[in-house]
Structure 1
Amino acid sequence: MRSQASLELGQHQQLALTPQLRQALRLLQCSTLELEQEIAQAVADNPVLELDEPATDAVSAQAEMLERHWAQPARQAVTDDIPESPASQSLTDHLLQQLRTTRASLRDQALGVVLIGELDEHGYLDFDPVSHSTALPPDWDVQEEEWRAARRLLQSFDPAGVGARDLPECLRLQLRSRAAQWPPDVLDCALRLTRFLEDLGAGRWGRLCAALGCSRALLDAAHQALLQLDPRPLSAWQEDTTCYVVPDVLFHRSGTRWAVSLNPALEPRLRVDAGLAAQLEREGAPVLREQVRVARQLVQSLGQRRQTILRVAEFIAVHQRAFLEQGASALRPLVLREVAQALELHESTISRATRLKYAQTPWGVVELKHFFGTGVQTASGEDASARAIQAVMRVLLDAESPGKPLSDMRLSQLLADQGLVIARRTVAKYREALGVPVASLRKAQGK
């Protein structure tokens, strides 16, 4: 067989991220505080940019608008805790500082930064590497093993338990970080006991002793070790905080529909000095003319950011109208793909537009990501949002007797009575997502 080289022409499509598009995506992902820092730095570096201070009457109008939307207290608290900002070092800074002190390569550190940004309010990490790899430069080609290595690195940081997938893994991470506190046999038994939290919650001591091959005394010692752990690794970072998040988006009634507006108090008032820009374009050196181009590009990117956030919020207002009128238990299933298809945008763009963006609703201030979640079919054949079911579970858990906490099986039965027929295993998953330990731990801790 002879081999012969040949030259062929072909066409293929490839998405190229221009510098302007990269800037727009980066600004879209910024929180309000991060955006303020970006703008302040841009004004300091670029003489063509200036902050446009609003007139006094405009400030008064903005204040009146905010008072009108915030005057009435929320009738019901949302399921997620209202985010707060620590007075000293933030958790993100604490984790990033540890990341910088490691010997990880710049590439691995970049993956670590992505993971830190995906932690939920309890310190857990429900992360899909496939969807997030698309947000990285195409030439990176990040492999799944690299994501696993980045997660393991994050899980080695303080506070112990951060980056866990679920409660059992969180407990195991804490046990290993404090291994010297317990005898080896107690530690080994406690590590294995984390895989039987359901039996532990039901008090099935005989079954546990048989499954673990240990005595009742050793089982009790391992149980006590678990009681010393924190099911919410970030709880210490949520204390003594006073600065509350200011919403980026305002949901308010307008006749029979729900209208959306961006918070005027947070709008970046950045503009290009037209006179100076014209002079530099006529007489300035190439580097100064480049400053003009960069300034106009930044203002344009900020406008795109506002429009994207507003479009996403308007879609949410229509889709989640029941939530706005009835509360968290009325949340409907919603996924990024659904919004992306309706707005003809990429899923990663929707993810950026909802990252660290908060909305003022009749039920409190919530992150836009709060409106997203998968669905579970109810007894009536309709779909209920997983977050809505968690909201119902939160009400049941808050009303339980401290001396007789609800087991996952009992929670499943109570939900079924309300038409929410879901498996006990799913109930356990949702309970862990709420950061609530098993019934036996709640009973021992006095909840």
Structure 2
Amino acid sequence: MKQGLSLRVSQHLALTPQLQQSIRLLQLSTLEMAQEVEQMLDENPFLERSEDTAERETFGLEQSDVPVSAGEQISDAALAEPPSAPPSSGESTSSTSADTGDGEGLEGKLDGASPVEESWEGDGTVEMSPDDGEWGGDAPARNNGSNSDGDDTATAADLARVPVSLQDHLHEQARCLRLSDEDSAALYFLIESLNEDGYLVDSLSDLATAWWHMSDRSRRVGGDDSPAGFEEIEVLEQRLAMALQLLQHMDPTGVGARDLAECLRLQILELRNTPEARAALAICGQPLELMAKRDIKRLCNLCGIDDETARGALALIARLEPKPGRRFIDVERNVVVPDVIVTHAGRGFKVILNPDVMPRLRVHDVYANAMRQNRGGRDSGGEAGHAAMQQRLQEARWFIKNIQQRFDTILRVSSAIVERQRNFFMHGELAMRPLVLREIADELGLHESTISRVTTAKYMATPFGTYELKYFFGSSLGTETGGNASSTAVRALLKQFISAEEPTKPLSDNQLSDLLREQGIECARRTVAKYREALRIAPANLRKSL
């Protein structure tokens, strides 16, 4: 083998820590973003919350026509999907999927790129700059749940807003019962074993075994397979069975049931003893598939009732609560906080960022000034410490800039969506037009993967409700006139057709497809079934009224 030297020119892309942080912050949701800010405030001494109202740096709609910065171009190049052919010398060799929105492993995918040193030094300056000012001045400071005057005492209104859990509600009732310590402990154990719907999903034998292992008895006996351990588990199971009788007579009715049939039976037993109630009890003893399919003829034969009584019993069952713990679920934790708010402004619409989700951050003035004053007077022994603190200062500055860039990109993408879907904001989802990520990416000069990250887990408050940004993107269906109809508009049209159907004669998927064809929209029966299932609408045989 002949050895030799050769010179080869190649181009590689290296992602700096600043750029990696910018990409990672862009794909975070509002909650994840708040957690990231809290973590950075704990770790970086140069970063603090701003309590004073200051003028924010100008960005957003006014900057929508500004050319894309070099940093964003590098970011888009790093996130672009590599073509099947070998890239040319001017193309990047880094890639990631546009659908996953995952920024992990970017450095590992750089073909032949040298490792990047973790450095936040930037240009090395520690002078005070406009970047050291606060960003997000319109957002109110968070008070961590305390009163403005510093008093941590909760008011009556605050206590009234605290939701009561199902377990707390049941424990309050259990305190009114005169029970022995053993029975009280068994009832407490059952209450804590309920799921959020109020069901007892584990069997009494499994609960007794778990309870026995949690106690000190298992250590004294030595195992549940010993005669003494088996006997004690049987005693605990009997005690749990008696406690279950008490639990199933508590409010809400049906709590402590092991399955849906038992839950319905417990609620029926609380009603008046009527022919319909007795028939409902008999129906609950049959396979639930028959009740779900409303097979009245077979239910009448199995329960020995007539057709009219069976219909009345099914109507009674339909009024029962299948999830007794539903009203105790804390709905506040499921509330979506929008990132963008769209309001009417004259004949158009105004797009603004939600100030409640914008953190107010700034570089600590005292620490930054101390770094600047000590820049030339430090001794030789403090070189390493000074360099480390300088790096933390630059890291704080970059964090503020990256947050600003994140919200700037969200606002730009949201404004482009509102402009493209103007008919939706005027007339509703029936006027939604087809839209793909490529259209917004081409308009803003960004990559599709960037648009995918921006529209994932980001929400927009509109006059018609709060929607995820991905909601405004949809595929197209052909029409008789040669145009395209949005799949979102087709689903809205299906909901209208089904809501207007006769309860005794619901529309089948074939009939719904024919109705869409009458509107000029070509939609096959299988597509109608897919859209109907996505809307969580039952098929025609289950929608049929008795």
What letter corresponds to residue 370 of structure 1 in structure 2? Answer: Y
**Equivalent pair of 1:135/1:348 in contact (CA under 8 Å):** no
SS of the residue corresponding to residue 285 of structure 1 reads: helix
Tell me how far apart the structure 1 counterparts of residues 102 and 49 of structure 2 sit (CA, whole Å). Answer: 35
- C-alpha root-mean-square deviation of aligned residues, in Å? 3.7
Counterpart among 10, 20, 23 of residue 21 in structure 2: 23
Measure the CA separation in 2 of the matches of 1:6 and 1:437. Answer: 73
| Equivalent of 1:242 in 331, 335, 343 | 331
Correspondence list, 1:368-383, <5 A: 368-383=469-484
User: How far is 1:382 from its partner?
Assistant: 2.0
Alignment match, 1:438:
539
Of 36, 41, 44, the match for 2:42: 44
Q: 1:138 to 1:35 in 2, by over 3 A?
A: closer
Q: Aligned equivalents of 1:376 and 1:5: distance in 2? A: 62
Instruction: Identify the residue that residue 264 of structure 1 maps to in structure 2.
Output: 355
Q: Which amino acid in 2 is paired with 1:394? A: K
User: How much has 1:263 moved relative to structure 2?
Assistant: 1.1
- What's the offset of the Cα at 1:250? 1.2
Q: 1:276 aligns with which of 367, 386, 404?
A: 367
- Among 253, 267, 281, the alignment partner of 2:344 is 253
1:6-58 CA-partner distances (Å, limit 9, x unpaired): 76554455443321122112111122221111111111111111111355x99
Give distance in 1, aligned partners of 2:362 and 2:400.
Answer: 7
Decide whether the 8 Å contact of 1:251 with 1:360 is kept in 2.
Answer: yes
- 2:130 is aligned with 1:132: no
- Counterparts of residues 84-163 of structure 1 (less than 5 Å): 131-132=99-100, 135-138=103-106
Change (3 A) 1:9 1:224: farther
- Give the partner amino acid of 1:294: E
Separation of aligned partners in 2, 1:7 and 1:395: 74
Alpha-carbon contact 2:15-2:107 (below 8 Å) kept = no
Q: Deviations over 1:123-170 (max 9, x none)?
A: xxxxx97743875424767xxxxxxxxxxxxxxxxxxxxxxxxxxxxx
* Separation in 1, partners of 2:369, 2:290: 73
| Displacement of 1:307 | 0.8
Q: How far is the alpha carbon of 1:363 from its aligned partner?
A: 0.6
CA 1:422–1:238 in structure 2 vs 1: closer, same or farther (change >3 Å)?
farther
Is the 2:293–2:541 contact (alpha carbons within 8 Å) kept by the matching residues of 1? Answer: no
TM-score by length of 1: 0.57
Q: Which residue of 1 aligns with 2:425?
A: 324
Structure 2 CA distance, aligned partners of 1:440 and 1:423? 20
Q: 1:337 to 1:9 in 2, by over 3 A?
A: farther
1:302-341 residue CA offsets vs partner (Å, 9 max, x unmatched): 0110110011011011100000000011111111122112
**Higher Cα radius of gyration:** 2
Structure 1 pair 8–387 and aligned structure 2 pair: CA distance change class (3 A): farther
The one-letter code of the counterpart of 1:404 is K
Deviates more, 1:294-303 or 1:412-421: 412-421
Amino acid aligned to 1:265 = D
Between the aligned residues of both structures, percent identity stands at 43
Count the aligned residue pairs: 292
Rounded Cα–Cα distance in structure 1 between residues aligned with 2:529 and 2:468: 24
- For residue 4 of structure 1, report the CA deviation from its aligned partner: 6.6
Equivalent of residue 397 in structure 1, options 491, 498, 506? 498
Give the Cα separation in 2 of the matches to 1:433 and 1:280.
58
Query: Does structure 2 conserve the Cα–Cα contact (< 8 Å) formed by 1:431 and 1:437?
Result: yes
Structure 2 residue ranges without an equivalent (≥5): 56-95, 110-258, 260-286, 295-321, 375-384
Change (3 A) 1:26 1:278: same
For residue 225 of structure 1, report the CA deviation from its aligned partner: 11
Matches for 1:410-429 after TM superposition, within 5 Å: 410-429=511-530
Structure 1 segments unaligned to the other structure (5+ residues): 59-127, 142-180, 182-220, 229-234
The answer to whether residue 278 in structure 2 is matched with residue 310 in structure 1 is no
- For residues 31 and 413 of structure 1, the distance between their equivalents in structure 2, rounded to whole angstroms, comes to 41
